[in-house]
Amino acid sequence: MRILIVEDELPVARQIAAALTEDDHEPKAVHSGEAAWEELGKRPFDLIVLDVRLPGIDGFELLRRLREQHLASRVLLLTGRSAVDDRVTGLQLGADDYLPKPFAMRELVARVRALGRRRQAAIQLSVGASTGCPPWSIASLSSATRTHSSQLDEPPRNEAADFALVPATE
């Protein structure tokens, strides 16, 4: 997975990047909310590991902006702010997970893997949207399912038990 690490503590950012590289991910570390926002404008990331206390734009504000722009990246908040109110705020703003500091690197890597599995399970494929056909989505698509795209005048039949066809939402 392409992972953006947004952490202002350089040693922590380096340790996270090393652990994620060792786990076959492609991490990119930045050290401020502004740098993260700029990086996100250049390319998409599958996951953002986001510290809350950052210079300039803090993690909560960056998360708010991400969700306002409907960016689909998963977000794992990683912060020393472990009060229940902070965790609830982060999750309500759109974070997918919240890991308080200090943390075990093994747990961080395990949570990243779990978020990666959920991303694979939640892939939605719009069928027909660019062909002028009615848009339909395949929801809860498992990674083992093989699909073929084609032009469709009506929604295809749901012949497999591991996915469902639903009207696409915008």
For residue 129, the cross-strand partners are: none
Query: Which of these CATH numbers, 3.90.1300.10, 3.90.480.20, 2.40.50.140, 3.40.50.2300, describes 2-121?
Result: 3.40.50.2300
Residue 82, pLDDT score:
79
Average pLDDT over residues 96-124: 86
How far apart CA 9 and CA 32 sit, in angstroms, is 10
The conformation of residue 159, written as its DSSP 8-state character, comes to -
Q: What is the pLDDT of residues 52-99, one digit of tens each?
A: 999 999 999 999 999 999 988 999 999 888 789 999 999 999 999 999
Sequence ranges of the domains in the chain: 2-121, 123-170
Task: Between 58 and 166, name the one with better pLDDT.
Answer: 58
Distances (CA, A) of 36 to 40, 88, 98: 6, 23, 18
* Residues 58, 33 contacting (CB under 8 angstroms): yes
How far apart CA 34 and CA 31 sit, in angstroms, is 9
Question: pTM for this structure?
Answer: 0.72
